[in-house]
Chains A and B, each alone.
Chain A
Amino acid sequence: MTNMLEVEDLTKIFVIAKDADLIAVNNISFSLKRGETLGLVGESGSGKTTVGRCILRLIEPTEGRIILDGEDITELDAKRLRDLRTNMQLVFQDPFGSLNPRLTVSQTVEEPLTLHGMKRAERAERVAEMMRLVGLSEHFYHYYPADLTASEQQRVGIARALATKPEFVVLDEPTSMLDPSARAEILELLRKIQHELGTAYIFISHDLTSVAKISHRIAIMYLGHIVEHAPTDIIMHSQRHPYSRALLSAVLFPDPERAPDPYVIEGEIPTAINPKPECPLYGRCPIRQDACMSEVPPMVEIEPDHFSACRRWRDVAASTQA
């Protein structure tokens, strides 16, 4: 299958002040196939949200190309871009905040269709289809967002995003503000939708376990870089980047028998303002060498379909904390 979406050398720099460039996204590339889910995992400040916004051009990328179905969308004008929005959508982190409090559920779901120029009768039919898809019955149509539980609100957000049947949807932390049971419901719903409609997802989250449940592949981000990128199984079981390993070992599995991996990285994520040309993890890395300081390590395909940006990827599994 060919790639539906290709992101090449994407960079986003926010100029904060004179001589202060915040490099939120630093030269990253990845691709997405039809009907596939790519998980984008990182902590706050990793640039994962900015990546999502750039792909949809809700934020203008500073450099790089975003190719959707063979067309570079970084070059489109506002009109063409709006037409294309029917094909790429976004689901937000904040279920309530992302809904206009003055529009009813059905108005919210209908709007993208109206903008798309769909006829009234067809719109009504599509709204009904979407509401069924996300499991909201008819008596929800006239409710306002404030009438809904968080899980129901998020279903409305998903119905709105899927109304025009886009080829791919960016899911920006869609479950992070939900309780565990609501989170499980929404993840299950997203999986079902992908199965029925063949929608491709970019699932952005800080929660590796949620991402692993739904993604075919996972890219780990740190300080604007993708540091490791591989199929989900490999990321979860044989990480080849110290940050990936630390991220996984920080997961507290709900099972007292499964003791957490004592592999902890010290300190906190540094600033992305005017970063030094060195490995982004250098300051916190348990296996750093002097060579890591000389340049940003390039992504290397260490085995088929498994990329790591660590010079010492061979030592990651064996190393323990100093």
Chain B
Amino acid sequence: MWLRIKRTLRSLPKWQLGVLGIFFGILFLTIFGPYLAPFPTETADPLSRLLPPGGKHWLGTDENGMDIFSRVLAAPRTDVVIGVVATFISVVLGAPLGVLVALYESRGKAGATAFAETFMRLLEVMQSFPVFVFAMVLVAVFGGSITNIIIAIAFVNTPVFIRLVRSEVLSLVQRPFSEAARAVGNTEMRLGFRHIFPNAFPVVMVQVSVTVGFAILLTAGLSFVGAGVRPPTPELGAMIASGAKYLIIEQWWPALFPGVALGLTVFSFGIFGEILNLAMEPRAVRKDVDRRRTAALESGRGGGETAAAALPSALSAAPGGETPVLAVANLRVAVGDAGGQELISDISFSLAPGESMAIVGESGSGKSVLVKAVLQLLPYPLEVTSGTVHYGETNLVGMEKREMRKLRSREIAAILPNAKSQLNPLTTVGAMLVSALQAHEKIATKAALARAIELLEMVGITDPELRLGAYPHELSGGMAQRVCLALALMYRPRLLIADEPTAGLDVTIQRQVLDLTRNLARESGTARLVITGDFGIAAHYCDRVAVMQAGRIVEANQTQALFAEPRHPYTRHLLSCVQV
């Protein structure tokens, strides 16, 4: 708990710390304000009316001769107490109701949906009524006591919490941990209140702080129009109201100071909500995790050095005098700022035209970072710190973005995992292909469409004419991957980089896609760099294999040789794990 607070505080920007100070200041005044006031706060003094700030009245006096500084100190008690109590009531009523409605709804029994729908519409009616007018009516009918103001504000805010908690619970109940809770034998009630509600709590707390601010504003507003707290009780809204009429005769202080106080109060409650949310997020508290990972990284390095050095020939393209399509030399990638942990350490390899190479590694080995470094798509704050990536004769590192873009789609193509999420969901397959074609050459739409059909045929999509009109969500995973392949291979690129090209595809579909990719690449003489965690793909679809661990290539060899005679202990370990 304490640790969490400390870490949250450390992560805050300075201005938020300031606001946090104001927030606690206001809480302090709520409790002690009236006792700190140097002058009586509810006693008129006709002799000292409307004195300007200065002298013994620091912030001046109001129309009744009362000290404004004293009243501003005392006022938060009224406003904050009303706001907090009213909000508390709304939460206590609204949150459990929200949980119950959502639980009932999620059981999907006949009638449950209808009930929930009706209930929600009723709440909407409640909410759509202008809050302010509604509160005014309540107070007008029942009188302007503090209790009535609280009831009015609680009443209009309860639906906010019912709706909020309901929607949170409805989404959390779909999460696997909810099903797990059911599976171990939790009752629906316990599931709702012990497992789900605590996970919805941060969102509720954020809303609470916003609502308290809003309730304070509402209290002040009601008092301003005379439907709330009555003078002489110190209350910010009423003070602003009584001071407002003096603004035009240049006596600004009776309205300004309570106004500023009100603004600060509402603002600081809002910011406090945000900070609270940050503090309550479930985050790792374990301290040794980072250290363990670093240790793993370092142990990987120790072994890596020798084995990689032992097989320099296997890292470079088959000798033949040809310029390699891709040559990565001594590449290093690190986190740009803050000490700069190295993610890729001194990687070198090359790829001959038409050749294929697999980079195999487990999650966290840096294989995806390597892909991004080659494609010059490293996200901030990752940076290439040294080394080169040559495509033919050109070094891609530090290349101009426009040049790189040109290369990227025409000569270097990439297929990334989860094809479906990469296709624009609002565009049909046909439009996608046509616009890709037209981005590269002057081609009439009609001709482009004909090309698009050819491309779809090439990747084995049946009824290509029909599929042109399909949106990505209408495609299966395998089909979407084929479309990506069509987009990637459109211009017979010299290099295809496939990052986990079949992740998420079913096994029978995986075979189809892998076969297709290999065959098309062979036809067009495209070299392939395949990044995968699966030794099976490496074994059957690539000429050479490099094994990555902790940012290094620990072993590389011709496919047959690597599987027949793995030399590095890490390779041997991984292969023993997948032994059938």
Contacts and interface: CB of A to CB of B under 8 A. Distances in A.
Q: Is the interface of A mostly helix, strand, loop or mixed?
A: loop
Contacts of B515: 264
Contacts of B578: 180, 184, 254
Interface string A79-117: 000110110011011100111111000000001100110
A160 B180 contact: yes
Closest 7 CB pairs of A and B: A252-B536, A147-B286, A254-B535, A85-B185, A184-B577, A43-B506, A98-B176
A62 interface: no
Contacts of B182: 58
Given A85-B185, A101-B199, A115-B185, A181 B536 contact: no
A76 B507 CA distance: 38
A93 to B, nearest CB: 8
Contact of A180 (B183, B199, B533, B537): B533
A137 B510 CA distance: 39
B559 A256 contact: yes
B479 interface: yes
Given A99-B177, A143-B286, A247 B508 contact: yes
Given A184-B577, A253-B539, A85 B285 contact: no
Contacts of B185: 82-83, 85-86, 112, 115-116
A102 B559 contact: no
B462 to A, nearest CB: 8
Interface string A184-212: 10000000000000000000001111001
12 contacts: A82-B185, A97-B176, A99-B180, A101-B177, A157-B180, A164-B184, A206-B506, A206-B507, A247-B507, A249-B511, A253-B536, A264-B512
Contact of A209 (B177, B187, B580): B580
A253 B575 CA distance: 11
Interface string A122-162: 00000000000000000000011011100000000100110
A75 B574 CA distance: 47
Interface of B: 175-177, 179-187, 190, 195, 198-199, 282-286, 289, 362-363, 476, 478-479, 506-512, 515, 533-540, 559-560, 563-564, 573-580
B282 A144 contact: yes
A254 B562 CA distance: 11
Given A86-B185, A98-B176, A147-B284, A260 B507 contact: no
Given A83-B185, A181-B577, 18 more contacts: A58-B182, A85-B185, A98-B180, A101-B282, A115-B185, A115-B186, A143-B286, A146-B282, A147-B289, A180-B574, A180-B577, A183-B577, A208-B507, A252-B539, A254-B538, A254-B575, A268-B479, A268-B506
A251 B285 contact: no
B362 A250 contact: no
B510 A250 contact: yes
A265 B512 CA distance: 9
A92 B285 contact: no
Interface string A207-250: 11100110000000000000000000000000000000011011
